[in-house]
Structure 1
Amino acid sequence: MIPFKRISLGFYPTPLVKLESLTKLLAGPEIYIKRDDLTGLAFGGNKTRKLEYLLGDAVAKGCDVLITGGAQQSNHCRQTAAAAAQYGLQCHLVLGGHQPDEFNGNLLLDKLLGAHLHFC
């Protein structure tokens, strides 16, 4: 088995929060939510966990560029751009659709994080 390389990108453990109102509404099982939005990397999200392994592998192999794709408001792309910036890697994002006249949301954050944006 090949050992996986991992680098730390998030703040763990993220909290587990009981959803009191939903638990009460369902009059039954206690329901909890894992707050991975609090991982800390570019506004958090569960994508941080997989990026720790993808980026760890890339860094271990001496890569200097990350390339990924997704929708223009992709959370994965936003977090990839943040991880690349944190480790001094270039980031190229291949995004669906035409380049908008104005950038907002994740697209704006991608740009501010230094990602090279490619629209197709």
Structure 2
Amino acid sequence: MTNEFLAFAPISADAVILDPAVAQLDEMMARVGVDGLAAAFADPGLLALVDQHAAAVRDALAGAERPIDAEALSAYARSIVAAARRAGRFVPAAGEAPTHPADWQSTDWHVLRLVAVCLLADDAGAL
């Protein structure tokens, strides 16, 4: 006689299982969101720029009749990363993003768009 429950490995109480969309947004937050948002909150001009990108993301999601949630924001971020790679651009690795507001003012648009995705994800409670 077999015990069906033995086929499943137990999950410890300390284990955290993230939704794949949340995990991707969390990674993007580590790569550009933390430093980008810190710089934006320190510089009103940069914050206005990030807000403009956030408005464009909201408009794109509304046009696609998608809610502002983890799944939609993650999919949007993946499309921005893919477009950037096709154009020969990169997304900074965690710890490699600019730290000064002036450096963010001159960064590529796709990086600012990803910071805006992180802002929206945080505002929506998707992280």
Normalising by structure 1, we get a TM-score of 0.31
Query: Greater relative contact order: 1 or 2 (C-alpha under 8 angstroms, separation 6 or more)?
Result: 2
Normalising by structure 2, we get a TM-score of 0.29
Of Structure 1 and Structure 2, which has the larger fraction of its residues in helix?
Answer: 2
